[in-house]
């Protein structure tokens, strides 16, 4: 079986078809639709390959329009909107079956000095002080709903160590609207910083939607919740390695109209803020599915 990290690196290595045109594939894991983080990561790869060296991505803003079909390739068409003296702007559209499934704008900036400040990292336990994945499987998986157990039991490229892991044992109990989780790849990555940014873009979509359900005592693993990412914004602030522990500090200030809004700050273990994330997602209750078998 291919290592999950190798699989992610493979799906992020897009095939160039023509100038500004790339083709990506999805992993063969039996998903009913394409994982949103995969599309974000592949779109970032596509635009990055059209930018001159020396300019780094500092922000991206994407919209999900249709669910992706994992059985067919995704075509990424890049529009080179502007190459300025300090900034480069790109737009990319992901296409399947002749229709757009995702669009993203991205901005790149030549590094330069300036005023510096960042919000301090929350005071949370270090990853070594939290249950690792083997301990989570042994001690907590039996109490989790079946879809959640299936998710945590399969091999994944991103290791998660939740700080508030008790929420998975207390289904149906509303909690404070925050979720802190340490993340890193399960294997070391190449040293290219662009790869680490694309992998973080991939991982940044993994838990935000679920965070918006915490105040309601619900999770995206429940069959009577129709969940989907609607948009996604990511800002890169500084250097990091995605194969070293990063704290993903998330909160959710609002939900309503079948939508939930979540934010995230991503820190190195030394406390440096390296990225910020915001997302709105669909969290539509489906009472008609409440009695469906898990």
> Which one, of 8, 6, 18, lies nearest residue 44 by Cα?
8
Q: Where are the beta strands (DSSP E) in 65-223?
A: 74-83, 87-96, 99-109, 158-162, 178-185
The residue length of the chain stands at: 294
> Which one, of 141, 138, 242, lies nearest residue 183 by Cα?
242
| Contact criterion met (CB below 8 Å) for 249 and 264 | yes
> Which one, of 35, 6, 48, lies nearest residue 198 by Cα?
48
The CA distance from 218 to 260, in Å, is 12
3-class secondary-structure state, position 15: strand
Torsion of CA 26, 68, 168, 9, to 10 degrees: 30
Angle at 260 between CA 258 and CA 263, to 5 degrees: 170
Catalytic residue numbers read 205, 229, 279
Backbone angles phi, psi at 268, to 5 degrees: -75, 165
């Amino acid at each position: 079986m291919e290592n999950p990290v190798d699989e992610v690196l493979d799906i992020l290595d897009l095939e160039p078809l023509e100038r500004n045109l790339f083709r990506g594939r999805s992993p063969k894991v039996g998903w009913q639709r394409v994982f949103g983080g995969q599309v974000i990561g592949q779109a970032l790869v596509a635009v990055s390959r059209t930018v001159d060296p020396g300019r780094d991505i500092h922000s991206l803003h994407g919209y999900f329009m249709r669910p992706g079909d994992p059985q067919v390739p995704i075509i990424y068409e890049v529009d080179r909107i502007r190459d300025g003296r300090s900034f480069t702007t790109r737009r990319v559209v992901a296409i399947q079956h002749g229709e757009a499934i995702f669009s993203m704008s991205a901005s790149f900036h030549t590094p330069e000095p300036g005023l510096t400040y960042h919000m301090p990292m929350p005071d949370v336990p270090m990853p070594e002080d939290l249950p690792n994945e083997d301990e989570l499987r042994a001690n907590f998986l039996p109490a989790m709903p079946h879809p959640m157990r299936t998710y945590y039991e399969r091999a994944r490229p991103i290791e998660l160590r939740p700080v508030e892991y008790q929420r998975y044992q207390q289904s149906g109990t509303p909690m404070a609207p925050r979720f802190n989780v340490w993340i890193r790849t399960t294997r070391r990555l190449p040293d290219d910083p662009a790869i680490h940014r694309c992998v973080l873009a991939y991982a940044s979509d993994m838990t935000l939607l679920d965070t918006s359900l915490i105040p309601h005592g619900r999770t995206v693993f429940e069959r009577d919740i129709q969940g989907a990412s609607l948009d996604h914004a990511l800002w890169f602030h500084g250097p990091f390695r995605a194969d070293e522990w990063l704290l993903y500090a998330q909160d959710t200030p609002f939900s309503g109209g079948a939508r939930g809004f979540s934010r995230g700050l991503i820190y190195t273990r030394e406390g440096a803020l390296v990225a910020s994330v915001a997302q709105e997602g669909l969290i539509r209750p489906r009472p008609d599915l409440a009695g469906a078998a898990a």
